[in-house]
Structure formats: structure tokens, C-alpha cells
Amino acid sequence: MRAVEPGRCGECWDACPRLSAGEPFDFACAGCGDCCRQRRDLVLSGFDLYRIARRLRLSPRIVAAAFCKSYIAPESCLPALRLTPDPKTGNCRFFEGSACAIHAARPLACALYPLGQSIDTETAAVEYYVQTPLCGARTGEARTLRDYLNDAAVTERAGIDARWAVVCTRLSQRLQAAGGQENPRFAAAARRIERALYYEYSLGDEFYPQFCQNIEILQPLLDRML
């Protein structure tokens, strides 16, 4: 089983060319900002939210309340957060002038662009595919996909993103095995999962140890709730 980057379906993933780390990839951002305009599909992971919260020096819950919409994803039955667009422009809330105001803490989907990502939730192996058309420039330099991922700081967070996908897949399976939204305790369980995945983090401590602790605490609670 694989977890595809939010906003992409499995059929889209199958139709996209995949790249290995050593393959040539000389794409360079042209700075047009088109990937920040009219975006309504940016789904955040807990790590995305944590990084933005740390950048803004606000709690994850406050950032989510101010900039995101919380909902239950129909396919997974999991609580999810989508970054809401600016109500006046329809652009990303953090797109100011012609640049990203939180560039160092931008979400994974933004750091990857124009790539998509697929994670095997059994092995945690990560694959990358190219979304076309490419809006940027081709540098003509002898650069590889690995170079691009390193420059975008995707490589250094890949382990956390893979673990997030694995944990979310298992939580989804657990909810669905318990009857999903038909379970009378579903709403309470979903709220508790949302807290563990997104909100119960101290910005003074690193994300991953807290995430692991949150999930360890969550498991026996779900046993009793479901």
C-alpha cells in the first residue's frame, strides 16, 4: 500500500514519470509564483503545521485556527488540515509580493514542487514523480534529483514524512475496521487523533520524539474508545 501526496490520486501517480535519485533533473524555479496562486489543495501534515507554527512563534492550534480548515478525509476517515486561501485573492495566505513569507518552513508539497511523492506504507520507501507541465527553467547543468531534493531540504525530513504516512495509514485502517464514521464513538476518537497528530507539541522541543510519544499514548486510548 502507498500513501500518495495529498491532492493527487493513485491513477494520476501511475500516469506520471518517476525518477530515481541519480537521474538528471535540472529544473529551477523561475520565481513566477504560479504554484502559490489559486491554491485550495494544500493539505498539511503534523510536521508541516509544527514547522509553520515554529516559524510564526504561535502554537500549532492557533496557526490551524487562523490559516486552516479541519475536516474528515472521506477516503481515510482521518482528521486532516487544509491550508485555506486568502479570501480576497484566492492565493496562499503566505504568498506576499512575489515570494513565500514562510519559505524556510514551507509545507512539503511546496518544497517538492514540481515533484510529487509516494510513500510505501509497508516499507516506508519513498518514490518521486514529475508533475507536468514544468513552469520553471531548465538550467542545463548536470544536476540530479538528489541534488534538487537536498537543495529543497526534502531529504533531511524524508524519514519523518515516511513515518507520518505509515502511522496515518495504520490509524486509518483501525478506524475503518471499527466501522468508520458509523461507529458511535467515531467523533470522539477522531478528535483525540487530531490532537495527537497536529496539536500536542511544544515548539521548544523537536517534533519527531513528541510525535512518537503522542502515538504511543494514543494507541491504548483508541483500544478503549473503539
Q: What is the pLDDT of residue 3?
A: 53
- What pLDDT digit, counting tens, does each position of 12-59 carry? 445 567 888 899 988 888 888 888 988 777 899 999 999 999 999 999
pLDDT at 11: 46
pLDDT, tens digit, for every residue of 164-209? 999 999 999 999 999 999 999 999 999 999 999 999 999 999 999 9
Say how far apart CA 200 and CA 211 lie, in whole Å. 9
Instruction: Report pLDDT for 97.
Output: 85
Mean pLDDT of the chain: 89
pLDDT (0 to 100) of residue 6: 41
Predicted confidence (pLDDT) at residue 9 exceeds the cutoff of 50: no
Interval 143-159: pLDDT, tens? 899 999 999 999 999 99
Query: Contact, 115 vs 128, CB < 8 A?
Result: yes
pLDDT grade for 10, boundaries at 50, 70 and 90: very low
Highest-scoring range by mean pLDDT, 9-13, 97-101, 210-214:
210-214
pLDDT above 90: percentage of residues in the chain: 68
Give the pLDDT score at 133.
61
- Beta-sheet strand order (sheet of 115-120): 2-4, 115-120, 126-130, 18-19
Dmax (CA) for the chain in angstroms is 58
Q: What is the pLDDT of residue 14?
A: 55
Closest C-alpha to 16, from 7, 102, 204, 75: 7
Which pLDDT score is estimated for 5?
Answer: 44
Kindly tell me if the per-residue pLDDT of 135 is higher than 80: no
- For the entire predicted model, the pTM comes to 0.90
Which of these ranges, 58-72, 89-103, 184-198, 204-218, has the smallest mean pLDDT? Answer: 89-103
- 22 CB burial (10 A radius; 0-12, 13-18, 19+): exposed
Q: What is the per-residue pLDDT for 123?
A: 86
Cα-atom radius of gyration of the chain, to the nearest Å?
18
Phi/psi at 50 (5° precision):
-60, -45
